[in-house]
Structure 1
Amino acid sequence: MHLFFHPEVTENDREVRFSREESKHIVKVLRKREGDTLHLTNGKSWIFETEITLAEPNNCSARILSAEKEPPAPYHLHLAVAPTKMNDRYEWFLEKATEIGIQEITPVICDHSERKVIKSERFQRVIQSALKQSLHTRFPVLNEPVSFKDFIKKGHSEAKFIAHCEDSMPKKLLSRSLQKAISATILIGPEGDFSEEEIEVAMKAGWEPVSLGNSRLRTETAAIVACHTAALINEEE
């Protein structure tokens, strides 16, 4: 099944008109015609079944046949991840985290961050593409970049973790600390890890230090390990 993304459509609409880009993909690439069925989501947990009423490369529209809201995930995972030096690595993280089922992402600028400028529009497009590919109906929240110190000061989930590699500081495995069906925020540092000062500030603010295993991971890999760990814990019977 192909899933299309249309953020403006609501459960009260009876018809939907696709953008020029989506229309071209539907008609020219997928070779869809009037009467064919399409499925789309607005990124707000709704999935719509539609029937094409006009199939033109620059102007495709469809009649909405049914609308169904999928139940919310049993947990909420917020990953606060430092930007990577290479933009494509962060985009890879966004793509894979969306496929796994992340709910919220915040780029966090840290002491050791080499990249401090974020291309949010590009990141949104990466997430959108991954959402359609994985057939998810909930578009993850992508927050604006924020400094580490400002992020720590904000109110967060019921469970707060900071994953770091500092051997001199005690920490438990995330898989043994994260509980099922909770709201959790996990901090992932940049290349070079968090500074000792940042780790201490976080711990004083109530963040629990955790490890993602014995391997030393890249930022984007660590973020995916954390995301997948949360997903597996919540899929256990």
Structure 2
Amino acid sequence: MHLFYLPGKNLGEVYRTGEVLQELPADEAGHLRVMRLKAGERLRLTDGLGNFAEAILEDPGPKKFTVRITAITPEDPCSFRLIMAVAPTKNIARFEWFIEKATEFGVDEIVPVWCEHSERTKLRTDRLQKVAVAAMKQSL
């Protein structure tokens, strides 16, 4: 079953309040369009907060996709949190690789740290967020 990311919403709260119809963001809708999923097909959603939802594709419209949430399965919380602090490398591809692998291993939080001899002073957090989301979806 395919996994899609619904950012900015706590799926547990959404389901409890009865908001079972949700519109997927544009980038996730693009993935659905490429996969050619049809109305009535099942898929999974995650909010990145440890909640997973079973959903059915309701409206595969040309510009937006609407899904109906049928069930919520919260992930069992860990007894610990893993936070990594790392200085961004000069080569941004290495830092993106680190973000990807750390996310796949289950690191809860990655904190960039600038040190006295750091050569990179700016990060594109939007790009790093996309890398982390792709790794999260791939590794479930």
Q: Tell me if TM exceeds 0.5.
A: yes
Q: Larger C-alpha radius of gyration, 1 or 2?
A: 1
Question: 2:32 aligns to what?
Answer: 26
Indicate conservation of the 8 Å contact 1:21/1:58, yes or no: no
How far does the alpha carbon of each residue in 1:11-64 deviate from its partner, in whole angstroms, 9 at most, with x for none? 22311111222222213x211000000101011111000001101242111111
Paired residue secondary structure (1:76): coil
1:132 aligns with 2:133: no
1:115 aligns with 2:116: no
Q: Normalising to structure 1: TM-score of the pair?
A: 0.54
Whole-Å separation in 2 of the counterparts to 1:66 and 1:117: 41
Unaligned runs of 5+ in 2: none
Unaligned runs of 5+ in 1: 136-237
RMSD between superposed Cα atoms in Å: 1.3
Q: 1:79: Cα distance to partner?
A: 0.7
How far does the alpha carbon of each residue in 1:83-119 deviate from its partner, in whole angstroms, 9 at most, with x for none? 1001111000000100010011111111221111121
Q: 1:73: Cα distance to partner?
A: 2.1
Whole-Å separation in 2 of the counterparts to 1:130 and 1:57: 27
Whole-Å separation in 2 of the counterparts to 1:59 and 1:80: 38
Within-5 A mapping of 1:146-225: none
Count of residues in Structure 1 that have an aligned counterpart in Structure 2:
134
Whole-Å separation in 2 of the counterparts to 1:24 and 1:124: 18
Indicate conservation of the 8 Å contact 1:23/1:56, yes or no: no
Q: Normalising to structure 2: TM-score of the pair?
A: 0.89
- Which stretches of structure 1, 4 residues or more, deviate above 4 A after TM superposition? none
